[in-house]
C-alpha cells in the first residue's frame, strides 16, 4: 500500500514524501505517509490520485477528512494513514516532530535517468 500511495503522490507532484512506522505507539496503524502539495488544488489532486490508485489495487478507504478545504487531507486505509498537507500546514502541525521517535520507512521511487 505504501508503495502504491507514494507513487501516486509523486505522479501528481507530491513533494517531501516521508513514511514513518508508527506501529509501536499506535497498534491499529502501521505507517503514516506524509506528503506536501504546493497549493490547495495540488493537495486535492494528490489525495484523489492516492485514493484512486489504492482503490484500483483493492484497498478500501476507511475514512477521509479535509478534502473540501484541501489544506490537510487525511486518508485512512487502516494500516496506512496518508496525510497530504499544504506546505504551510505541514510546518505548522509538525507531525515529523510529534513522531520523531518512530523509524523512517524507506520509499523506493524511480528516479528518472538523465537524458531520457
Domains in the chain, please, with CATH? 2-104 (3.30.460.10)
Between helix 2-11 and helix 40-56 the angle, nearest 10°, is 140
Polymer length in residues for the chain:
116
Looking at the predicted structure, is the pLDDT value of residue 65 above 60? yes
| pLDDT recorded at residue 8 | 97
Q: Does this model's pTM top 0.85?
A: yes
Q: Which residues have C-beta within 8 Å of that of residue 55, sequence separation ≥ 6?
A: 61
**Dihedral sign from CA coordinates of 79, 53, 2, 44:** negative
- Residue 26's pLDDT is what? 86
C-beta separation of 32 from 81 below 8 A: yes
Instruction: State the pLDDT confidence band at 93, using cuts at 50, 70 and 90.
Output: very high
Q: E strands within the chain?
A: 15-21, 31-37, 63-65, 72-76, 80-86, 104-105
Q: What is the Cα–Cα distance from 8 to 54, expressed in whole angstroms? A: 9
- Assign 65 to helix, strand or coil: strand
Q: Determine what percent of the chain is predicted with pLDDT higher than 70.
A: 95
Write the burial class of residue 96 (CB in 10 Å: 0-12 exposed, 13-18 middle, 19+ buried): middle
At 111, the pLDDT band (50, 70, 90 cuts) reads low
Amino acid at each position: 500500500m505504501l508503495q502504491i500511495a507514494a507513487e501516486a503522490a509523486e505522479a501528481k507532484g507530491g513533494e517531501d514524501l516521508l513514511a514513518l512506522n508508527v506501529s509501536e505507539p499506535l497498534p491499529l496503524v502501521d505507517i503514516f505517509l506524509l506528503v506536501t502539495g504546493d497549493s490547495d488544488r495540488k493537495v486535492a489532486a494528490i489525495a484523489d490520485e492516492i485514493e484512486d490508485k489504492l482503490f484500483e489495487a483493492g484497498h478500501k478507504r476507511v475514512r477521509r477528512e479535509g478534502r473540501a478545504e484541501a489544506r490537510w487531507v487525511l486518508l485512512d486505509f487502516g494500516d496506512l494513514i496518508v496525510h497530504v498537507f499544504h506546505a504551510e500546514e505541514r510546518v505548522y502541525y509538525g507531525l515529523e516532530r510529534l513522531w520523531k521517535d518512530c523509524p523512517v520507512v524507506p520509499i523506493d521511487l524511480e528516479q528518472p535517468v538523465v537524458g531520457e
